[in-house]
A and B are shown apart, each in its own frame.
Chain A
Amino acid sequence: MVPEIGQISLALALCLAVALAVFPLAGAHTGNVRWMEVARPCALGMLAFVALAFAMLAVSFFRHDFSVLYVAQHSNLKLPAMYRFAAIWGAHEGSLVLWQLILSSWTVAVALASRTLPQVLRARVLGVLGLVSIGFLLFILLTSNPFLRLFPAAVDGADLNPLLQDPAMAIHPPLLYMGYVGMAVPFAFAIAALLSGRLDRRWARWTRPWTTAAWMFLTVGIALGSWWAYYELGWGGWWFWDPVENASFMPWLAGTALIHTLAVTERRGLFGNTTLLLAIAAFGLSLLGTFLVRSGVLVSVHAFASDPARGLFILVFLAVVMGGALLLYALRNAATNPQTGFKLVSRESALLVNTILLSAATVLVLFGTLYPLALDALDLGKISVGPPYFNLVFILPMLPLLLVVGAGMHASWKATDTAAWGRKLRAPAAIAILTVIILTVAAYGFAGVLTGIGILIAAWVIASALRDPVAWLLRRGPKPRRSTWGMQVAHCGLGVTTLGIVVVSAWGVETDRRLALGESLEVSGYEFQLDRIEDVQGPNYRAAQGVVNVSRDGRPVTTLYPQERVYEVQQNPMTEAGIDAGWRHDLFVALGQPLGEEAWSVRVQVKPLVRFIWLGALIMGLGGLLAISDRRYRVAAPKEDES
């Protein structure tokens, strides 16, 4: 009964989504106020039914209802309760229900928080979100029903993929989806602006907090995924330029460009068309990411061809959504063309450069991700594109971008007094140069020109971001606004992440060695001794656990316990690294295979400042939060001519 309730709920949610799309959009077109007013109750009802469906799926998991195919495939009697809950989004069908739950939540959030918006705009935004919901609910009901029954019911389930039985992996998808799906909100605002043919500064002010919120979730979600890959995939890499990672990174790049052009549109009324295109692109790339991850096309384009329903659905949906949006963009000229310009040295120029470089990075990553798929689909050969390509095409735009970020933060709108600007940048520049000298000479040792440049720009961004807050603390500057604080904190986070990436790439040490019991190995001044291997029994796995004593100059530092686990149901071996996390560096040990004669292959790593990579992302997210909390987003809409 429970799964049937879930399925009926999804069908009812679809009905409400249709109502949510049709009445407000038609009402906005004809000026029918009562039709427009339908939007809010429809959104609430849709959320209620989707939440009910989600709850029914959760109940099926908690009750071990193995007559539900999806539960039988992804759970097990021995699976701990927390992972039974996380298993809801552990595979395709359930993750779509989560996706729709989050989309409905965003829709309701917009419905409730948009009382100050003009009625027509509100109706159009909610109507477009309803259209997107129709697409995803149809996708679930037609191709990916999580409530399909299995007859006869399974005695026990096939268990959740061991890689996903991990706390970070339990919350990574919801956060990432919050970001992905959140990009639907600025998209809906963009379409609403195109439909009304009006894009002004108030529109940008209303759109900004939503975009920043989605961006914030995306940032933290991606960082969490990277952290998970670092310790759970077992081998200490934190970014692989894997198509799945690129799928989440491309919307982030476009979204980052979007929050910056929105700032220009709000403050100066410029870049309107760019803002619209980026809003469309960010959501389009989110949909593309869904397609890449969910269609099976990455496993093989031919696997996609052999079971085409799902992939084809998303592809058609993507084509309809993007085609429709771009057609609308081509037909309507929503952005006003203001007569105001800006000087070469101004914040607008910096943000223009920012937009160009971020867009270039997005396009180049997109090219590297899709080219092998296209080639394979046309039977022109099987290629893969290696990480060095992505590293280069990413670093190439990022180096100048970070330089501009540090300088642009202190430029004024319209025209900058270059003398005052130069004075402001003196201290950050000095600090950046000093940091390079300290790190490359005193702390780590010289490691190439590029590393020096990397540290220089990272320190430059951090110092420049902190300049005004520090001046304020020393009572030498004005108190910044919340949104300015947010901007500075987020840029500081960007610098911290960059610093972590540069330092760990330049001075991280990786060693693969054969270690017999009792033998030891020295890495970066630390002595790693493999003391013994013991057997460990977990709730649903057995493991060989290494006991590795780490010492420095004869003094014990810590003991690490890397494991080689075998999960009982799926019988897959899995490496669980032993990590001593620290501010200065991580000590990392992973067990490979037993090599006989009581010896194991072992990977030992010392990773300086690796935590900065994720810490910086968290700081960026915090910056986003600060920016959203700015009062001006909550006060009633200002008049159009307010400056």
Chain B
Amino acid sequence: MTPRRRRMVAMTGGLVCLVAATALVLTAFEQNMLYFYTPTQIAAGEAPEGRRLRVGGLVEQGSVRRTPGSLEVRFDVTDLDQTITVAYAGILPDLFREGQGVVAHGLVSTDGLFEADEVLARHDENYMPPEVAEMLEERGHPPDASLR
């Protein structure tokens, strides 16, 4: 091969690698983007099926139900208009409380249940998941208040 052809081959190879890497990165990005939905949006059928998403709101007072003898737990999350039931099997965060803000990651199942694989709550006394705080504010609810 002449040096010129060798350079051509090297550049083409590099370009192909770069395009492949870019495609891979963009696909990974697209697949790992989690959109935030409110219970109202989910009730209206706006949430895509079979795609992981985040849902947030306040944990309805008195709605936490445990399956005896296991880690399974269900609770209702509300944005004060609509409510969705979240099912989760695992350890809830330290600051998970009824009446407080929560964000869950997971899938909407066909029967309208939200199957969560991750549940996040506040980090401290003053913290409210930002999406939940803004959502409540839009509904005219003071952001620092909780359901009492």
CB distance A388 to B28 under 8 Å? yes
Chain B binder among A221-229, A376-384, A471-479, A485-493: A376-384
Given A388-B31, A392-B24, decide whether A592 and B91 contact each other with a Cβ distance below 8 A. yes
Q: Give residues 16-46 of B contacting A (CB, 8 Å).
A: 21, 24-25, 28-29, 31-36
Chain A binder among B76-84, B108-116, B123-131: B123-131
Asked if A593 is at the interface of the complex by the 8 Å CB criterion, the answer is yes
- Contact among B36, B90, B130 with A299 in the assembled complex (CB-CB below 8 Å): B130
Given A570-B125, A601-B91, decide whether A393 and B69 contact each other with a Cβ distance below 8 A. no
**Interface size grouping (class) on chain A:** 35 or more
* A299 contact set on B, CB distance < 8 A: 127, 130
* A564 contact set on B, CB distance < 8 A: 94
- Contact among A302, A382, A385, A595 with B32 in the assembled complex (CB-CB below 8 Å): A385
Asked if A572 is at the interface of the complex by the 8 Å CB criterion, the answer is yes
Of all chain A residues, the one with the shortest Cβ separation from B68 is A597
CB distance A512 to B71 under 8 Å? yes
CB distance A389 to B29 under 8 Å? yes
* A517 contact set on B, CB distance < 8 A: none
* B130 contact set on A, CB distance < 8 A: 299-300, 302-303
Give the complex CA separation of A514 and B67 in angstroms: 11
Asked if B133 is at the interface of the complex by the 8 Å CB criterion, the answer is yes
Give the complex CA separation of A163 and B125 in angstroms: 12
Of all chain B residues, the one with the shortest Cβ separation from A390 is B32
- Contact among A303, A393, A572 with B95 in the assembled complex (CB-CB below 8 Å): A572
CB distance A512 to B90 under 8 Å? yes
Give the complex CA separation of A570 and B125 in angstroms: 7
* A161 contact set on B, CB distance < 8 A: 124
- Contact among A371, A381, A392, A514 with B28 in the assembled complex (CB-CB below 8 Å): A392
Q: How far is the CB of A403 from chain B (nearest CB, A)?
A: 14
* A371 contact set on B, CB distance < 8 A: 29
Majority-rule SS of A interface residues: mixed
The tally of residues in B whose CB lies under 8 Å from a CB in A reads: 31
Give the complex CA separation of A385 and B91 in angstroms: 23
Given A161-B124, A514-B71, decide whether A382 and B36 contact each other with a Cβ distance below 8 A. yes
Asked if A404 is at the interface of the complex by the 8 Å CB criterion, the answer is no
Asked if A364 is at the interface of the complex by the 8 Å CB criterion, the answer is yes
Asked if B134 is at the interface of the complex by the 8 Å CB criterion, the answer is yes
CB distance B91 to A603 under 8 Å? yes
- Contact among B21, B35, B124, B134 with A300 in the assembled complex (CB-CB below 8 Å): B134
- Contact among A234, A364, A570, A592 with B25 in the assembled complex (CB-CB below 8 Å): A364
CB distance A300 to B133 under 8 Å? yes
CB distance B25 to A396 under 8 Å? yes
Of all chain B residues, the one with the shortest Cβ separation from A303 is B130
Asked if B66 is at the interface of the complex by the 8 Å CB criterion, the answer is yes
Asked if B2 is at the interface of the complex by the 8 Å CB criterion, the answer is no
Interface positions of B (Cβ within 8 A of A): 21, 24-25, 28-29, 31-36, 54, 66, 68-71, 89-92, 94-95, 123-125, 127, 130-131, 133-134
Interface positions of A (Cβ within 8 A of B): 161, 163, 234-235, 299-300, 302-303, 364, 367-368, 371, 381-389, 392-393, 396, 512-514, 564, 570-575, 590, 592-593, 595-597, 601-603
User: 5 tightest A-B contacts by CB?
Assistant: A300-B130, A592-B91, A386-B32, A389-B32, A382-B36
Q: Can you report 16 A-B residue pairs in the complex whose CB atoms are below 8 A from each other?
A: A163-B123, A300-B130, A302-B130, A382-B131, A385-B33, A386-B33, A388-B28, A392-B25, A396-B24, A570-B125, A590-B91, A592-B91, A592-B92, A596-B66, A597-B68, A601-B71
